[in-house]
A and B are shown apart, each in its own frame.
Chain A
Amino acid sequence: MSLLSVEGFALTFLQYASGLRRRRLEVISGLDLDVDAGELVAVVGASGSGKSLLAHALLGLLPSNAIETGRITYDGSPLDAARRRALRGREIALIPQSVTYLDPLATVGTQARRSAELAGTADPAAAARVAFRRLDLADDIAGRYPHELSGGMARRVLTATATIGTPRLVVADEPTPGLHPAMVTETLQGLRRMAEAGAAVVLITHDLLAALTVADRVAVFYAGSTVEVAPTASFAGDGAALHHPYTRALWHALPAHGFLPLAGAQPPPTDLPPGCLFTDRCPLVIPDCRRARPATRQVGPSLVRCIRAEARDA
């Protein structure tokens, strides 16, 4: 049993279109993901694929017009709204995407101590110091305001603050864009060390190549559904070990693996096709693909949502 398990998770936003006419916007239609203690799972996909919404759902940060279906279990029991509130900041930590999550009017030390207090540590000041040292932040950094930090330092402060209570599940939402390569490596290695120390880590990113350097498995999201969860080792060579045509297209779009642009764009929630969400762009499409949303199934070591995927290496 995995520490975190997400099964058939779907999310609909109820919106007022014009006047009192309501419309339902299905932004996530089928996410599946499981992460175990000591494991780092990367979640990759284009913007709008549902990556950040999943993170916000796990932390109980979705707006009130969001309607959820499906099952999320954590540590053996359902992760309902009350448990999300109780566990976030303690057992479940979010490393947010943007440094704008820091309060510009408080020193970072004050913010870290406040996090430690909320996480229920016995000695918040000591816990904050330990967290800063763990990320190589010198003691005098605590007295600085966010604008006095470089981008890389601010990101380390976010990580230190988020992980102060030694969380069991860490969700990092796009922690690397805009960082230069050395900083990207440092950030990702930090997450890897957390997994090695026993945490379950979810790394949300659009940077597939960077994710492959630290992940055990990679979950690929497309238009609000998980299309494949594959071991990192499957991302190699000509991509033959990858089973979903979208995953293979992602691999072959990398500059070092073909740089091939797949035509078209991810369908928006207002315009989802009736069958498989990838039909418009899929090179393997057959009429059956348009009839119903495919379910996920096991193909070799991977979980795949495609009726055309075959175990070629079986």
Chain B
Amino acid sequence: MLEARDLWFRYRRGARWVLAGLDLRVAPGEVVGLRGPSGQGKTTVARLLAGYLQPARGHVLIDGAPPPAATSRRPQPVQLVSQHPELAVDPRWRLAEILAEVGDPDPSLLASLSIAPGWRDRFPNELSGGELQRITVARALLSAAPYVVADEVSAMLDPITQAQIWHVLLDRVRRHRLGLLAICHDDSLLHAVADRVVDLPHLVTRPDNQLRPPAPLSGTRVTT
């Protein structure tokens, strides 16, 4: 179980709280959709869960224990796939090196993402955004991490590429019990992929910029 327990976060002391007491759980084999307007902290949740940011208060736990330090050589157990793949790869590495960082590339996984063998020797700027996004999804899955946070991974993709990427992710959920947090503001997509959807609540601030206790997150089951 991936768990966010009472997470508080702000970018600096005295700034407004981006998150105030967030609780969230993702079980193995479960797809949880996270929805909310722009600027409400969806990407901050993603970065906290994946260890890119540290909460001011509260904990990220995996099966009740904190994840290993980010300095360890092994891939982190929560992998983030970002909306901007071009910012998630080293521009000076060839794609073969980018994928090899997490382990042996599994040819059948690469094929399922339509990653052509000819891309191996190319640099990130020689691929389109959609092509590069398949690489970052492949990297997250090759790491064999038990949890993936997909932060608007298909917002910039055409419908066919979007469907391809999601089918590969959902196949991992079903066959390998991957736990997946899908951050997305396309309701029709959430409806198609998520077992349940949670809404990131608006944070209510008083004029003196002090937070009122936020409303608890409600887990609304997506009806099909």
Q: Which residues of A in the span 150-182 have a Cβ within 8 Å of any Cβ on B?
A: 150-151, 177-182
Does B116 interact with chain A (Cβ within 8 Å)?
Answer: yes
Query: Which of A249, A250, A255, A262 makes the CB contact (< 8 A) with B186?
Result: A255
Q: How many A-B residue pairs have CB under 8 A?
A: 84
Which single residue of chain B is at the shortest CB-CB distance from A281? B160
Q: Which of the listed residues A44, A180, A208 has the most CB atoms from chain B within 10 Å of its own CB? A: A180
Task: State how many angstroms separate the Cβ of B94 from the closest Cβ of chain A.
Answer: 17
Quick check: B38 and A47 within 8 Å, CB to CB? no
Q: Is the CB of B156 within 8 A of A253?
A: no
A179 to B131, CA, bound (A): 22
How far does the Cβ of A286 sit from chain B's closest Cβ, in whole Å?
22
Residues of A within 8 A of B166 (CB): 259, 261
> For residue A262, which residues in chain B have a CB less than 8 angstroms away from its CB?
160, 163-164
- Would A254 and B159 count as touching, CB distance under 8 A? yes
Is B191 at the interface (CB under 8 A from chain A)?
A: yes
Q: Are A47 and B128 in contact (CB under 8 A)?
A: yes
Q: Are B83 and A250 in contact (CB under 8 A)?
A: no
How many chain A residues touch B (Cβ–Cβ < 8 Å)?
32
- Hey, what's the 0/1 contact readout for A252-281 against B, CB within 8 Å counting as 1? 011110011111110000010000000000
| Candidates B114, B155, B159; contact of A208 at CB < 8 Å | B159
Q: Does A206 contact B (CB under 8 A)?
A: yes
Query: Quick one: which of B114, B130, B167, B191 contacts A47, CB cutoff 8 A?
Result: B130
Partner of A261, one of B37, B164, B191: B164
A254 and B188 contact, CB distance less than 8 A: yes
One of A45, A47, A209, A259 near B192 (C-beta < 8 A): A259
List of B residues within 8 angstroms of A260 by Cβ: 163
Are A250 and B188 touching (Cβ within 8 A)?
no
Which single member of B116, B130, B192 contacts A255 (CB below 8 Å)?
Answer: B192
Main secondary structure of the interface of A (DSSP, over half): loop
Residue of A44, A48, A261 near B163 (CB, 8 A) is A261
Q: Decide if B158 is an interface residue (CB 8 Å cutoff).
A: yes
A253 and B159 within 8 A (CB): yes
Chain A neighbourhood of B114, CB < 8 A: 263-265
Contact with B along A30-72 (1 / 0, CB 8 A): 0000000000000011111000000000000000000000000
- Please count how many residues in chain B sit with their CB below 8 Å of the partner chain's CB atoms: 31
* Contact present for B188 and A206 (CB under 8 Å): no
A255 touching B189 by the CB < 8 A rule? yes
B185 within 8 A of A: yes
Which chain A residues (282-300) contact chain B, with CB distance < 8 Å? none
Interface residue? B54 (CB, 8 A): no
Task: Please provide the chain A residues from 175 to 209 with a CB less than 8 Å away from any CB of chain B in the complex.
Answer: 177-183, 206, 208-209
Interface status of B161 (Cβ within 8 A of chain A): yes
Which residue of chain A has the shortest Cβ distance to B84 in the bound complex? A178
Which listed residue, A177, A180, A249, A253, touches B38 by the CB 8 Å rule? A180
Chain B residues with CB under 8 A of A265: 114, 116, 131, 161
Whether A46 lies near B160 (C-beta < 8 A) is yes
Rounded to whole Å, the gap between the CB of B155 and the closest CB of chain A is: 6
Within the assembled complex, what's the spacing in Å between the Cα atoms of A265 and B159? 12
**CB-CB contacts of A8-27 with B at 8 A, as 1s and 0s?**
00000000000000000000
Known: A46-B161, A254-B159, A259-B167. 7 other contacts (CB 8 A): A179-B38, A180-B37, A209-B159, A249-B160, A256-B191, A259-B192, A261-B163
